[in-house]
Amino acid sequence: MKRRRFAKNLALRNMGANTTQFCALIRTPQRLDVLLAGVFAEHSRSQTGKWIAEGAVEVDGKLMQKSAYLVQAKQIISCKTPEHAPTNVLPNTELDCPVLFENASCIVVNKPLGMLTHPTADPASFHTSVASWLSARLDGKKDAPTLGARPGIVHRLDKWTSGALLLAKSDAAMRWYAEAFEQRSTTKIYLALVCGRLPYPKGRIDSPIGRDQVRRIAMAVTSLGKNAISEYTVLAEGKLGSETVSLVRVHIHTGRTHQIRVHFASIGHPLVGDEVYFTRITHTLLRGQWLHAAHLEIPDMDTKKLLVVDAPLPPVFTEILREASIEVPTI
């Protein structure tokens, strides 16, 4: 049975005969091939570009064969796609993912360090991500989510970022919570340990972020990127060896890939352990950046009241703070 495709900024309809139709609920114009690659997450931009060139895509009922066409908000896209490979999410009952909150519509977990949110192209990841944990937990449930290649995954955290991650328990919940993130009805607070002493106790980084044109695995501050805003407060300073480190509380108003990591690297204070963004300080206990999603607020689908969840720090992060003579904070 084919699975319907879903992306957080789109409202999809399965039209049969491998045709998907959606209304683009986007804030700014997006290239048609990029938009489709976001919907059909297991297909690359070059593949969606091929569909467009082959005449498989219509915009507002008219054939569109230009990949660079800029889709406007609320335009209707119809895409006739080939048969898709099955989802690469394999259930795994042996994974441990601590639950912070659960009700009829969602689960909020404290994502462990080193666990992927969803699989990559590597087959070894097909049964080791949060998506596999969720699939096993909801196995056999009548209303379990089926939308997209990663059912139930509403947003994501990087592999080496820990903390609060919200998961949907049904397709209706997937749409509800995805829309909340898209409309920025959420509050997301992170804790980050950064290199050096920041010049001000509070600050705002308002710099657009896009793909690094030289290192394609990384992101960068670029005028060609999307707007990204991070506000921070310095909570404490300490020392790791001879190096000064600062613990900061970060409120992100947007959700760009690697946003906190890129923003602090751009002002000369990369995160401790973040070798992708040229950190000056590493630690034997770290395999990635010191970054934790500590606090999440989002409207609850069931009660319509604000759901508030705090995620405790992983022991490794706590140990590093103590080594730096920094008191473990409360959000």
| Minimum mean pLDDT range among 3-7, 38-42, 171-175 | 3-7
* pLDDT at residue 322 tops 90: yes
Query: Can you give the pLDDT at residue 84?
Result: 43
Tokens at residue 1, please?
A: 């049975």
Q: How far is CA 94 from CA 106, 133, 233, 234, in A?
A: 21, 8, 38, 39
Check 96, 122, 158, 212 and give the catalytic one.
158
* pLDDT at residue 300 tops 80: yes
Query: Can you give the pLDDT at residue 4?
Result: 38
Going by pLDDT thresholds of 50, 70 and 90, the confidence category of residue 41 is low
Question: Which domains, and CATH codes, for the chain?
Answer: 10-80 (3.10.290.10), 99-182 (3.30.2350.10), 187-323 (3.30.2350.10)
Q: What is the pLDDT of residues 217-254, one digit of tens each?
A: 899 999 989 999 999 999 999 999 999 999 999 999 99
Rounded distance between C-alpha atoms, residue 40 and residue 280, angstroms: 38
Pairing, β 162-168 against β 291-299: parallel
| Minimum mean pLDDT range among 151-155, 201-205, 229-233 | 151-155
Query: Can you give the pLDDT at residue 148?
Result: 67
158 is catalytic: yes
Going by pLDDT thresholds of 50, 70 and 90, the confidence category of residue 200 is very high
Going by pLDDT thresholds of 50, 70 and 90, the confidence category of residue 79 is confident
**Average pLDDT in the 196-210 region?**
97
Write the DSSP assignment of 10-22 as a string of letters: EEEEEEETTEEEE
3-state helix, strand, coil in the chain (%, to 5): 20, 30, 50
